[in-house]
Amino acid sequence: MRRTVFIGEREYFPGIGQIQYEGRESDNPLAFKSYDPTRVVAGKTMEEHLRFAACYWHSFCATGADPFGPGTRVHPWATGKTPRDRSRERVDAAFEFFSKLNIPFWCFHDFDLAFEGGTVSESEQNLCEMVELARERQDATGVSLLWGTANLFSHPRYMNGASTNPDFAVVTYAAAQVKAALDATVELGGSNYVFWGGREGYACLQNTDTRRELEHMAIFLERARDYGRSIGFDGTFLIEPKPMEPMKHQYDFDAQTVIGFLRHHGLAGDFKLNVEANHATLAGHSFAHDLRMAADAGLLGSIDANRGDPQNGWDTDQFPLDLYDCVHGMMVVLEAGGLGDGGLNFDAKVRRESTDPEDLFIAHIGGMDSWARGLLVAERVLADARLTELIGDRYRSFDSGAGARFERRDLDLVALRDLAASAGQPEARSGKQELVENLINDHIVAG
Ligand code: XUL
Ligand code: CO
């Protein structure tokens, strides 16, 4: 159960109190208009359906730097004299933010939370100290950990990959980090552990032994799984697909690639997918497509909620304020029976030009309201008999007779040929795309 606002030694967001649900009539930018955590939709509260999480890296570490210029935001929690002081301040600022926003979960990388030391042991110690502090703050606020992960992409040692690095010495460093990050995740009661392999891929196909690298990646994931289980981690391991950036090609290209990889290596019992909107679009798919592929495989674990920009070909990590994305996404989630122990993590950053402290609240409030609207609309769309009938009708020919026998694998290719030869040309049957799109639009405006 979450408690009231947490304020540490210093208040980092003065003038902003607990964000409340005020309903659609409210014109307060610091209030929820649609996200009412206690409202019941399709048998569960909005809070239970949506399982929102804030991320530590974009909101509390990043300052808005881009390849053309430095950060534009000066964080009041980054003023301490030593890296250790700054890490501790950041935890307080983050938990003040989480509790004021009334967000139930958070996510972190090892070296967002702690600063990397000069040696493996020093880094482990730093992380342990910060985990202890975060645990106290979790207890004080009731905010829980959705997932932890290790940053295996920023340090120059990972420039040629982490678990897929051609140099075994680097692979061992990656293992050390994953071990410590798993320990931290267990200590903080996290329900998932994420692998996003930013550098697990290649920049040049001609200097890379891809067969060997993919094998190494599978071995590494097995070892991580075994260690996690040995220390009592009974949650879900998640792979987060992304096709490229920073590498030219990343092995976790998209949902279907990862599903194939997991099944090929016998990992699908312990691993699921963390689908990120902007990664799906970089792969040339829609967000809903990757969600659907993961859900169809029974491997939809969690979501990194954000969006890209159609005019930019990179990972802009904008807040997910596109209503269609949220509606289409929630349609998949509801049909899949929910997110289970996964959640909706805002892997999103305010724009470089959004420099007011309140912008961080406004962005998250917008994301939470958009997904809440997505939930309400998706529930209505899925309950609309016209859609279920339309889809049922499209596949009716498989429900009985020869079509059903085909699905039961009773017909061979010759039998199929003979059916075609005796029946003549199939009739044209409309897919009714515009009708379906109109129907969804009608439900969006009706709410
Ligand atoms: C990078 C990305 C990461 C992962 C965690 O594109 O999405 O923040 O979510 O490492
Ligand atoms: Co992500």
Check if 109 is active-site. yes
> Please, where are the H alpha helices in 248-296?
255-264, 277-282, 287-296
Residue with tokens 């799984």: 225
Q: Which residues contact 386 (CB under 8 A, 6 or more apart)?
A: 439
Q: Which CATH superfamily is domain 20-383 in?
A: Divalent-metal-dependent TIM barrel enzymes (3.20.20.150)
Indicate the Cα dihedral angle 375, 377, 383, 384, nearest 10°: -160
User: Would you say how long the chain is, in residues?
Assistant: 447
Q: What is the dihedral of CA 256, 257, 260, 266, to 10 degrees?
A: -120
- pLDDT tens-digit series, residues 62-117: 999 999 999 999 999 999 999 999 999 999 999 999 999 999 999 999 999 999 99
Q: Which of 117, 67, 29, 126 is nearest to 369 (CA)?
A: 29
Cα–Cα distance measured from residue 162 to residue 170, given in angstroms and rounded to the nearest whole number: 6
Q: Which of 239, 363, 388 is nearest to 302 (CA)?
A: 239
Confidence of residue 313 (pLDDT cuts 50, 70, 90): confident
d(CA 58, CA 119): 26
Q: 428: buried, middle or exposed (CB in 10 Å: 19+, 13-18, 0-12)? A: exposed
Q: To test ligand 1's pocket by mutation, which of 58, 105, 149 has the most ligand atoms within 8 angstroms of CB?
A: 149
Q: Give the number of other CB atoms < 10 A from CB of residue 256.
A: 17
The one-letter amino acid at 17: G
Can you tell me the distance from the alpha carbon of 100 to that of 78, in angstroms, rounded to the nearest whole number?
20
Query: Looking at the predicted structure, is the pLDDT value of residue 3 above 80?
Result: no
* Residue 446: band (very low, low, confident or very high) from pLDDT cuts 50, 70, 90: confident
Task: Using the predicted structure, report yes or no on whether residue 352 has a pLDDT greater than 70.
Answer: yes
pLDDT tops 60 at residue 242 = yes
Cβ of 270 below 6 Å from ligand 1: no
- The whole-number average pLDDT for the span 179-200 is 98
Is 56 touching ligand 1 by the criterion CB < 6 Å?
no
Taking only the tens place, the pLDDT of each residue in 278-292 is 999 999 999 999 999
| 21-38 mean pLDDT | 98
pTM of the model: 0.97
Say which amino acid occupies 195. Answer: F
Mean pLDDT of 374-385: 98
CA distance 97 to 81: 22
Domain ranges (residues) in the chain: 20-383, 386-446
pLDDT in tens, 285-312: 999 999 999 999 999 999 999 999 999 9
Q: Which two tokens stand for residue 248?
A: 């030219």
Which is the closest atom of ligand 1 to the Cα of 345? Answer: 9
- 49, 58, 75, 109: the catalytic one is 109
Q: What is the spatial distance between Cα 337 and Cα 300, in angstroms, rounded to a whole number?
A: 10
β-pair partners for 193:
148, 237
Burial of 390 (0-12, 13-18, 19+ CB in 10 A): middle
Q: What angle do helix axes 357-383 and 323-335 make, rounded to 10 degrees?
A: 50
At 41-61, the pLDDT tens digits run: 999 999 999 999 999 999 999
Q: Which residue has the tokens 């290649």?
A: 202
The tokens for 400 are: 């009985």
CB 232 within 8 A of CB 186: yes
- pLDDT score recorded for residue 4: 80
**How many Cβ atoms are within 10 Å of 147's Cβ, its own excluded?**
30
Report the nearest atom of ligand 1 relative to the CA of 245: 6
pLDDT tens across 155-172, in order? 999 999 999 999 999 999
Q: Do 282 and 318 contact (CB within 8 A), yes or no?
A: no
Q: Does residue 341 surpass a pLDDT of 90? A: yes
Give the integer Cα–Cα distance in Å for 47 and 415: 52
Mean pLDDT of the chain: 97
In three-state secondary structure terms, 192 is: strand
* Residue 1, pLDDT score: 56
- Pair 9, 95: CB distance under 8 Å: no
Beta strand pairing status for 236-239 and 300-304?
A: unpaired
Cβ-proximal residues to 330 (8 Å cutoff; 6+ apart), any chain: 371, 374, 375, 377, 378, 379
Identify the H or E element spanning 87. Answer: helix 83-101
Distance CA 145, CA 191 (A): 7
Taking the CA of 303 as reference, the closest ligand is: 2
Q: Whose CA is nearest to atom 5 of ligand 1?
A: 196
Give the nearest ligand 1 atom to 196 CA: 10
